[in-house]
Structure 1
Amino acid sequence: MPYAEYIRALRAGWWLAVLGALLGAGLATAVVMASTPLYETNTRLFVSTVGTDDLATAVQGSQFSQERVASYAQLLESRDLMATVIDRLDLATTPDELQSQIEATVVPETVLLDVTVTDPEPERALAITSSVADEFGELVTRLETPEDATTSPVRIAVVASPELPTEPSSPRTARDVPLGAALGLLAGMGAAVLRGRRDTAVKDDDATATAVGAPVIGDIVTDAQLAEAHVMRPYDTSRVAEGFRQVRANLQFLRVDQPPRVILVSSPLAGEGKSTLTVNLALALSETGLSVTLVEADLRRPRAARYLGRVTGVGLTNILSGTADLDDVLQPHGDGRLQVLASGPKAPNPGELLSSEAMSQVLAQLRTRSDVVLVDGPPLLPVADAVGLASRVDGVVICARFGKTPREALESSREVLDRVGASVLGAVLTMVPPRARTTGAYAYGYSDDPPDRPRSAHRSGSRAGRRAAAADGSAPETAVAASGVDGPPSADDGRTATAGTGDGRPVASAERPQSTSRAAEDEETADRP
């Protein structure tokens, strides 16, 4: 898995890392709250032999102590010593339980023994540690004293006395909670990476371009109105409309010397928005004054003509079967710059029809009639209908749905097109969430300036204007102009000013409808005290 994919997986699954950190911190907090505080005391014992002036004897005594000290560590945790300490302190415990509270370790290559005692009560921990040190010294003296001697050659001395603990050794809230959060964070990051390896759906331009082998020429954000109507409004300035225009602009400059004129729009699988993309791309191209023909070549599930409100009963299959001519079934849309060739009646052999010589002739005729021909084709992987069609166009635009289309499906689609020698112009990501990082500059929004609002002085002046209009029968706008108040007319005044006689001439004040003067008289009456 490349490094970039790890970063992408962590970025996509950031919430798993956060959730893991929160769960880890919460679990650690719960464990800390449920745990019994334990206090720890320590002491250090020094093992030596009885002093002598002979150097050789001293060296032998030191070696003897080092050899013995490992055995003494085991002796410190013996049941006999535990029983003696219990009797001395009158503890309500068993030797096995007390043995689990004591730990003896040997400092390497020394004659030192470290003893650690853990207990829920700090005073009892101190008492046990002191008692263990005293009783252990007596036990060693008793064991190491020869039968014919009165003193032991081994002496146990306390070199680090135990102290009363003031803070518990466990649990440590300041340590355990951050440690739990860190472990949870690592677990969440691991889950995010695992999820990223299993989830191969494309979610950014780089992964899409790599899978397709061509640049991403546009991102279409999710839009509730587009999902319902499937067609953008004329000269719309919304983000989704600008996304289609971005596709249009990039498509026109892909091949400057020989721009593609017959373009197939397809997708690896069904339900990825290819028909919506084709329809709105055709509308965006026609906005620039180009003549565009939209061919509905998805003969199994036609959608494009229905989205545009065109007749779907006649169209491409009639031409391919020889029952109609092109002029008979072409349907204009809007101002006529966009022509729609619907799919027509359903055929039992759509794959054969689309790969036939008759289809090549239809595309050749449309090429001579239109500046751009957009073909809404079937998906590439479920059926073979688009394979024969792809080799008859100038290029293919692959549509992929954000977060749904698998990367493997895009790679397979590219392989299918490569086998028939089709040229992939680019890819378009559809249904992109508005907050996704791939949505580009229009994620911030950019539209026309809002209209200027009238100032309050104009509003107060328009009442005087209405009164003057009621007195002399003139229009309210004339009175406003006469009042000398600067500023644009209100929305109602603007509608009245643009009224006409039917032949394009503005209506004079004497020709205006009587309802306007009557409304002014009613408002004047309402203003009177």
Structure 2
Amino acid sequence: MRFTEFVSVVTSRWRIIVACVVVAMAVAGVTTYLTTPVYTAQATVYLSVEPVQGRGDGTVVLTTSDLETYQSILGTPAVLDPLRKDLGMVEGHPIDVEASVSSSTSIVDITARSSSPQEAAEVANGIGPHLADVAGDFSTVITSSNNRVVSRPLQPASVPTSPTSPNLRNNLALALLGGLVLGVGLALVRHALDTKVRSEEDIKSLSDAPVLATLPAERTSGGVLLSIEHDPHGQHAESVRRLRTNLLFVDVTTGRHSFVVTSAVPEEGKTTTAVNLALAMADAGTKTLLVDADLRSPSVADVLGIEGAVGLTTVLLGHATPDEVIHRWGASGVHVMPAGQVPPNPSELLGSQPMEDLFATLVEDYDFVIVDSPPVLPVVDAVIVQRLTGGILMVAGHERTKKRDLASAMKQLSTVDAAVSGFALNFAPARGHRAYGYGGETKKQAAGRDPAIARKVVPEPGSPSGRGRPR
């Protein structure tokens, strides 16, 4: 994974990371609050051997082995029971104490821990003499020579003012670090398991072709979003115009003034995108033709509410001329060629010589030709049609298109050297205002602004299908 991709994953899934950090720190805070505090007190004593009433042998000294033995018996009842009695503790009261010894001296460091700071200090200061009282019992040399072990305090323990555990600051710091690691890990796992396209970065990771526009998802009362006609100042319409502008820049490099609009799989909004794009082209004064080349599941006629019984297949069969099946639609005057009747051999028709001759004529007669084709993965129709055009506009549905489907479509196209000119990310979440300082416009307002919108269909003169029904 590249660093830029890692940053993109972290920024796009920051909510997961923040949630993990908040939960981890909350757990750490609550655990710290509920945990019994432990106070630690330390004392240093010096153990030595001295004669009993002046009758002992003064040559006896403590060995390293003796000190290690005393360290081992420090926590035994022989030492702790007298200490409990001396400190007024009940029998069996828990005492947490340990010692460390030096290999070169008779100095012993005693560490006592307790939930009470006062008790911790008393245990650390009081256990030295009790250890010395029983120390001689564990050394025959000392007892046989009339000597005893004595404890002299070198550094008495003071009452601790703050607990050594739990440490709130350390716990919160560790929780912050752990929450970050867990959050980033979950974000990466979620990214790896996420199979749908959710951003432009997902598309860029699969293709070098640019994302020409992001089209927001907007609700419509009629179920079909024709924003250029119904809401020309809305955010979706502005996004379609941006798509139109960027596609024109791409067209400069091809010079063929025609594009196929397709998608990887169905239900990604390719037809609605093609219709709106054609309307935007025509709205800019360009003589635009929209061709429905989806001969398997044609829908342009249904979207625009025009007669679709005759169209592209009718012309390819030689039963009509292009002028007889082409409609003019809406206030923009976009020209529309429906698909016609669904044939049993759509791929063969689209790859036929009549189709090539017809498309050459259409490109000559119109400033711009937009072709709505079937999706890439189910059938090869889009690959066949793209040979006649200047490029492919690939529509990907936000949270609808699966990455593996889009990757498969790109691989299938690259196999036949079919270049994708750009992408349109459809159904993206709307951001900011509906448009650049403008509100939406209702159908009634649009009809009042231009009566041609209310009339909808303006058939070409002499068209046998000029009985287009208003919507």
TM over 0.5: yes
1:33-44 to structure 2, matched below 5 A, reads 33-44=33-44
Higher-helix-fraction structure: 1
Once residues 263 and 65 of structure 2 are traced to their aligned partners in structure 1, the CA distance between those partners, rounded to angstroms, is 80
Cα offset for 1:49?
Answer: 6.9
Cα offset for 1:343?
Answer: 2.0
- 1:19 corresponds in structure 2 to 19
User: Alpha carbons of 1:132 and 1:348: their partners in 2 closer, same or farther (altered >3 Å)?
Assistant: farther
Cα offset for 1:329?
Answer: 1.9
Q: Which residue, out of 166, 174, 180, partners 2:175? A: 180
Once residues 224 and 286 of structure 1 are traced to their aligned partners in structure 2, the CA distance between those partners, rounded to angstroms, is 24
Q: Which residue, out of 158, 162, 170, partners 2:153? A: 158
Cα offset for 1:284?
Answer: 0.8
Unaligned 5+ residue runs, structure 2? Answer: 52-59, 440-447, 449-471
Report the aligned-residue RMSD: 3.2
Unaligned 5+ residue runs, structure 1? Answer: 52-59, 436-441, 450-494, 496-529
Cα offset for 1:241?
Answer: 1.3
1:383 counterpart letter in structure 2:
V
2:391 is equivalent to residue 401 of structure 1: no
1:86-235 to structure 2, matched below 5 A, reads 86-92=84-90, 94=92, 97-98=94-95, 101-106=96-101, 112-144=107-139, 145-152=141-148, 156-225=151-220, 228-234=223-229
User: Alpha carbons of 1:360 and 1:165: their partners in 2 closer, same or farther (altered >3 Å)?
Assistant: same
**Once the two structures are superposed, what CA deviation does each residue of 1:125-171 show, in whole Å capped at 9, x if it has no partner?**
2332233222122233443453431224x664432211222333333
1:346-365 to structure 2, matched below 5 A, reads 346-365=342-361
User: Alpha carbons of 1:105 and 1:227: their partners in 2 closer, same or farther (altered >3 Å)?
Assistant: farther
2:436 counterpart letter in structure 1:
Y
2:235 is equivalent to residue 245 of structure 1: no
TM-score by structure 2 length?
0.81
Native 8 Å contact 1:261 1:394 kept in 2: yes
TM-score by structure 1 length?
0.72
- 1:9 corresponds in structure 2 to 9
Native 8 Å contact 2:347 2:381 kept in 1: yes
Once residues 312 and 365 of structure 2 are traced to their aligned partners in structure 1, the CA distance between those partners, rounded to angstroms, is 16
Once residues 182 and 232 of structure 1 are traced to their aligned partners in structure 2, the CA distance between those partners, rounded to angstroms, is 48
Q: Say which SS state the counterpart of residue 285 (structure 2) adopts.
A: coil
Once residues 350 and 27 of structure 1 are traced to their aligned partners in structure 2, the CA distance between those partners, rounded to angstroms, is 63
Runs of 4+ in 1 over 6 A off after TM superposition: 107-110
Cα offset for 1:283?
Answer: 0.7
Greater displacement, 350-359 / 411-420: 350-359
2:298 is equivalent to residue 302 of structure 1: yes
User: Alpha carbons of 1:4 and 1:422: their partners in 2 closer, same or farther (altered >3 Å)?
Assistant: same
Once residues 219 and 281 of structure 1 are traced to their aligned partners in structure 2, the CA distance between those partners, rounded to angstroms, is 13
Cα offset for 1:207?
Answer: 4.0
- 2:442 corresponds in structure 1 to none
Once residues 91 and 316 of structure 2 are traced to their aligned partners in structure 1, the CA distance between those partners, rounded to angstroms, is 97
Q: Which residue, out of 302, 322, 329, partners 1:333? A: 329
Once residues 47 and 156 of structure 1 are traced to their aligned partners in structure 2, the CA distance between those partners, rounded to angstroms, is 5
Once residues 252 and 180 of structure 1 are traced to their aligned partners in structure 2, the CA distance between those partners, rounded to angstroms, is 53
Q: Say which SS state the counterpart of residue 160 (structure 2) adopts.
A: coil
- 1:367 corresponds in structure 2 to 363
- 2:80 corresponds in structure 1 to 82
User: Alpha carbons of 1:444 and 1:233: their partners in 2 closer, same or farther (altered >3 Å)?
Assistant: closer
User: Alpha carbons of 1:128 and 1:397: their partners in 2 closer, same or farther (altered >3 Å)?
Assistant: same
Q: How many residues align?
A: 430
User: Alpha carbons of 1:303 and 1:168: their partners in 2 closer, same or farther (altered >3 Å)?
Assistant: same
Greater displacement, 304-313 / 353-362: 353-362
Cα offset for 1:266?
Answer: 0.9
User: Alpha carbons of 1:274 and 1:121: their partners in 2 closer, same or farther (altered >3 Å)?
Assistant: same
- 1:438 corresponds in structure 2 to none
1:132 counterpart letter in structure 2:
I
